[in-house]
């Protein structure tokens, strides 16, 4: 019979100890974690960013990633969107009894790959096992700290009239990849989650010297919700052009069939930036050199009219409101 996670793996006793010592510590091997003290102790200088997120995606494996990769990328990206350089991460697992050991190992493997790519360290963690039915296979919480370089000031309330809206690439891939996997939709099997750590892309954007005013990763609620947040926090209007929105064919096809609007579908490896108009082209050029920004494009601008509102200009020349997402379009996608 295949090895499975038992309640005892979370009991704090021998099995827990072995699981952590044999499977987790060697994988993430670093001086902070290896000590296995109650807390990781480290020094950091400067302004810090600190964030946490819980990951409950269903299914835990999907095209283009899994819950482990997501747990690293999501938190790395939340730090990056403040302009912070991500440093340290915590990972806490809540495992439903009966999870296959091989699945857990596979997920830990992708966590390792993601932290390596992002160039950060997992310095502390926790493992709990709950009764069958008390969780859905595996939930992960991750928290992270990062250092904000001097002079960087990024906030959703910094937008100014005239700023350009930049999107780093195609939209909706993550949400559609997850729902396709969950519902067994064959037609969109080509769609892969865009799940990726964006810290290096952000660092390159900041290095360009152009003033980056707002940054956010359009996860749940999609690009539409992110733009609405900017418009509201900065009390400005935002106008975007339908023509400039990159949507992959598989995503469009799935959206047509399911009745979704890609503007509201989640992304896990994209960012929206509002930047000073003069430097927008330069930022886009810089972004396109990074593999996560290849399809970066200017999709619109910040205007003084209709403060708090996002307006989309359709291909035929009409305008319509792009509102916040209400309720959930797709449940449990991250």
Partner 1 sequence: MKFINEYRDAELGKSLIARIKERSTKPARLMEFCGGHTVSIAKYGIRQLLPPTITMLSGPGCPVCVTASADLDKAIALAKLPDVIITTFGDMIKVPASRSSLQQVKAEGGDVRIVYSTLDALKIAQSNPSKSVVFIGVGFETTAPTVAASVLQAAQQGIDNYYVLSLHKLCPPVVKALLDSGEVKIDGIVCPGHVSVIIGSHPYEFIPRDYGIACVISGFEPLDILQCVDMLVDQIESGQPRVEIAYRRGVKPEGNRIALELMDKVFEVCDGNWRGIGVVPGSGLRLRKEYQHYDAEHNFEIRPGEPIEPKGCICGDVLRAVKTPLDCKLFRKVCNPEHPVGPCMVSSEGSCAAYYQYGEGYGR
Binding positions for partner 1, rule: CB under 8 A? 183, 243, 249, 252-253, 256, 259, 306, 309, 311, 314-321, 323, 326-327
How far apart (Å, rounded) are the C-alpha atoms in residues 156 and 146?
Answer: 18
Q: Output the smallest distance, CB 97 to partner 1, in A.
A: 22
Beta carbon nearer to partner 1, 1 or 326: 326
Q: In the complex with partner 1, which residue's Cβ is closer, 150 or 184?
A: 184
CA–CA dist 78, 82 (Å, integer) = 7
Q: Which is nearer to partner 1, 76 or 238 (CB)?
A: 238
Nearest residue (CB) to partner 1, 45 versus 315: 315
User: Smallest gap, in angstroms, from Cβ of residue 297 to partner 1?
Assistant: 18
Nearer to partner 1, 242 or 268 (CB): 242
Angle at 109 between CA 105 and CA 111, to 5 degrees: 115
Nearest to 131 by CA among 96, 169, 80: 96
d(CA 92, CA 71): 10
State which residue, 192 or 288, has the beta carbon closest to partner 1.
192
Q: Which is nearer to partner 1, 43 or 243 (CB)?
A: 243
Secondary structure letter of residue 241 according to DSSP:
E
What lies within 8 Å, CB to CB, of 58 at 6+ separation is 136, 178, 182, 332
**CB of 131 vs partner 1, minimal distance in Å:** 19
Place of tokens 């109650």: 38
Report helix, strand and coil shares of the chain as percent, to nearest 5.
35, 25, 40
Provide the minimum distance between the beta carbon of 25 and partner 1 in the complex, in angstroms, as a whole number: 42
Q: Supply the minimum distance, in Å, between the C-beta of residue 332 and partner 1.
A: 13
Supply the minimum distance, in Å, between the C-beta of residue 55 and partner 1. 23
Closest CB 318 distance from partner 1, rounded Å:
2
How does DSSP assign 4-18, residue by residue? B--GGGGSSSHHHHH
Report the C-alpha gap between 140 and 161 in whole angstroms: 40
How many angstroms separate the Cα of 283 from the Cα of each of 69, 122, 279, 286? 27, 31, 6, 5
């Amino acid at each position: 019979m295949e090895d499975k996670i038992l309640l005892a793996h979370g009991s704090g006793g021998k099995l827990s100890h072995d699981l952590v010592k044999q499977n987790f510590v060697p994988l993430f091997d670093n001086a902070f974690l290896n000590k296995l003290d109650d807390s990781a102790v480290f020094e950091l200088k400067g302004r810090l960013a600190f964030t946490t997120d819980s990951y409950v995606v269903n299914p835990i494996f999907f095209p283009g990633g899994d819950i482990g990769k997501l747990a690293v990328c999501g938190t790395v990206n939340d730090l990056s969107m403040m302009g912070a350089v991500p440093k340290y991460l915590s990972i806490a697992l809540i495992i439903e009894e009966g999870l296959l050991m091989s699945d857990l190992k596979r997920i830990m493997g992708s966590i390792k790959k993601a932290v390596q790519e992002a160039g950060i360290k997992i310095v502390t963690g926790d493992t709990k096992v709950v009764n069958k039915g008390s969780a859905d296979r595996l939930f992960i919480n991750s928290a992270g700290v990062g250092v904000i370089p001097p002079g960087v000031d990024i906030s959703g309330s910094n937008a100014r009239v005239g700023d350009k809206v930049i999107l780093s690439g195609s939209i909706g891939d993550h949400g559609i990849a997850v729902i396709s996997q969950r519902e067994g939709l064959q037609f969109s099997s080509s769609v892969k989650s865009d799940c990726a750590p964006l810290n290096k892309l952000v660092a390159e954007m900041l290095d360009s010297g152009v003033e980056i005013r707002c940054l956010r990763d359009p996860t749940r609620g999609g690009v539409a919700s992110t733009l609405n947040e900017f418009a509201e926090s900065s009390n400005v209007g935002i106008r975007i052009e339908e023509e400039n929105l990159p949507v992959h064919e598989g995503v469009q096809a799935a959206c047509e069939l399911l009745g979704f609007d890609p503007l509201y579908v989640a992304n896990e490896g994209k960012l929206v930036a509002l930047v000073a108009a003069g430097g927008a082209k330069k930022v886009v050029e810089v972004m396109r050199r990074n593999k996560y920004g290849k399809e970066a494009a200017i999709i619109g601008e910040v205007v003084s009219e209709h403060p708090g509102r996002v307006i989309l200009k359709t291909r035929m020349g009409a305008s319509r409101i792009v509102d916040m997402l209400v309720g959930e379009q797709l449940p449990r996608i991250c």
